[in-house]
Chain A
Amino acid sequence: MMANNNSAAIEVIDLVTHYGPREILHGINLTINEGEIMIIMGGSGSGKSTLLRYLLGLGIPTSGSINLLGKDITKISNTEMHQLRQNMGVAFQGGALLSSMSIGENVQLPLREHTHLDEKTMEIMARMKLEVVNLGGFEKLMPAELSGGMIKRAAVARAIVMDPKLMFFDEPSAGLDPVVSAELDELILNLRDAMKMTIVVVTHELESAFKIADRITVLDQGNILMTDTVENIKNSDNERIQSLLNRRPSNDEVQADEYLNRLTGV
């Protein structure tokens, strides 16, 4: 159940970004409440991954502001950003575990960097987080020895080891079989309910999105088409949203000129 107290954990205001000369996001406005699971959906090239990168502070926008936990990350100092990052966890699409480290060392890494805990305490904390994601006893293995689903869960363990207030998932279900995907959905719901995290999930997996979302934002060509509850999104009469939900191309998407324009950015 959503623990929404209507206080904004993330607030994006008039966000405009460019990749080279090409404008990717055209003035995005989005508010994500504390304790909410917000799904960001859209087709390929809609700008959802770009939006995630800017929410993570991995790029400097052309204009606009991004407030995370009340701090505008486009204006704060490196020191403030460094502190803020301790309240952010990210599970990347491929896991992004450091391949030179064991699973346990990967999970301990944020603790090693941001705390002065002794080795034993860090080991115990890492083991606890791995147990949360059902990977207890796997800490000595290297990332190359794990399956895709296990790597994603280990990445979640690393992301939550500092007990962040904000959690971001990039395509958590991509490349997973339905059973593992469902397990990951349960894990995301547990993180919200048990750890009171605000969660942003970028995905194009409809089944997973409808299962875990409190609200859904649909992006299209760098614009937000709609932000609303699952039911309202499903019942929307917007043609592009319906084409996305029904997995069919909308009329204008099959126009050759439009396709060429999108490719060339003209």
Chain B
Amino acid sequence: MPESATHPVINSLELVGRSTVKLIEEAGYYSALLVESLFWILAGPFIKRPVRISSIFSQMMTMGIAACPIVFVLSFSIGVMLAIQMIYNLKTFGAESQVVVGVALSVTREFGPLITGILIAGRTGSSLAAKIGTMQVNQEIDALRVMGINPVRYLVAPALFAMMIMVPVLTFFSDLAGLLGGAVYTSIEIGLSFDAYIDRTVSALAVADVMQGIFKSLLFALIITLVGVSNGFSVTGGAEGVGKATTRSVVLSISYIVIADMIFTYFLNL
């Protein structure tokens, strides 16, 4: 073997190259899954092979409604924590009452969608990867194919549809829970009445602030679904493979969500 082939620099470059190719391949796979899912959602009814409505509602229940309690608890806590930190900092300038504006903007523009995205990535993204991965291992995906049932139409499209509806809804719910947390702590700490808190929040917020978070949540829903199902479909090697795919799905989803959030926050606030 030539000496240059084992040189650390060459090896590092090769590793970077392979990782880049893999990343591009994955991006292509996500895109193909997205296009195919959209095709079935939009064109399925016209070719008499619609996406199953019952599956969409069932997934909206498990992905969305069942997640409400945990979203409320986390978002309420984030609202309280934001209020604690902001009151502590604003006290220095004697401007504690401005905590309302800080909490309102932080929750609606950033923490509501981010916390919801991370929570759903851990809860639903992992569940999608595990479910599809197990089906892959048990040849259920092959069985669907040979029965003439397209797995993307049957499994991915309903999940994507449900996520695109429920993640923004959960984000809005998270916003409300976060604001409630801020209001409760503020009323206890600085004696600001609940009514006054709501009045100031409403006057501080513009529709665009809330919509910025909702727009991000749509993107997060896409990321969580596509990463989850693509990792599920790529499972090999039995139960161990399912475990690996599930872990990979959660780690990748959360990483992509945080990076996408940073990028979109920058561009939406130029």
Contact = CB atoms under 8 A, between A and B. Distances in A.
Interface string B145-162: 111110000000000000
A158 B149 CA distance: 14
A114 B148 contact: yes
B14 to A, nearest CB: 18
A96 B143 contact: yes
B209 interface: no
B139 interface: yes
B139 A110 contact: no
Nearest to A53: B142
Contacts of B146: 56-58, 85, 88, 90
Contact of B147 (A81, A99, A110): A110
Query: Helix, strand, loop or mixed for chain B's interface?
Result: helix
A109 B145 contact: no
B147 A113 contact: yes
B138 A86 contact: no
Interface in A40-59: 53, 56-58
A98 interface: yes
B66 to A, nearest CB: 16
Interface string A83-109: 001101010111011110000000001
Contact of A94 (B138, B147, B148, B149): B138
B26 interface: no
Contacts of A58: 142, 145-146
B44 to A, nearest CB: 12
A97 B140 CA distance: 6
Interface string A101-131: 0000000011001100000000000000000
Contact of A99 (B138, B142, B144): B138
Contacts of A94: 138-139
A93 B142 CA distance: 12
Contacts of A96: 138-140, 142-143
B142 A85 contact: no
A86 B148 contact: yes
Nearest to A162: B147
Interface residues of B, number: 13
A90 B143 contact: yes
Contacts of A93: 139
A75 interface: no
B149 A98 contact: no
A158 B146 CA distance: 12
Contacts of A56: 142, 145-146
A113 B44 CA distance: 13
A106 B15 CA distance: 45
A92 B143 contact: yes
A18 interface: no
A58 B136 CA distance: 13
Contacts of B140: 96-99
A109 B139 contact: no
A110 B144 CA distance: 9
A262 interface: no
B148 A92 contact: no
A93 B143 CA distance: 11
B147 A85 contact: yes
Counting chain A CB atoms within 10 Å of each CB, which of B134, B140, B148, B149 scores highest?
B148
Nearest to B148: A85
A234 interface: no
Contacts of B144: 98
Contacts of A211: none
A88 B138 CA distance: 20
Contacts of A158: 147
Nearest to B48: A116
A57 B144 CA distance: 12
A170 to B, nearest CB: 8
Contacts of B143: 90, 92, 96-98
A109 B148 contact: no
Nearest to B140: A96
A158 B147 CA distance: 9
Instruction: Give me the 4 closest cross-chain CB pairs, A-B, nearest first.
Output: A85-B148, A96-B143, A96-B139, A92-B139
9 contacts: A85-B146, A85-B147, A85-B148, A88-B146, A92-B139, A92-B142, A97-B143, A110-B148, A113-B149
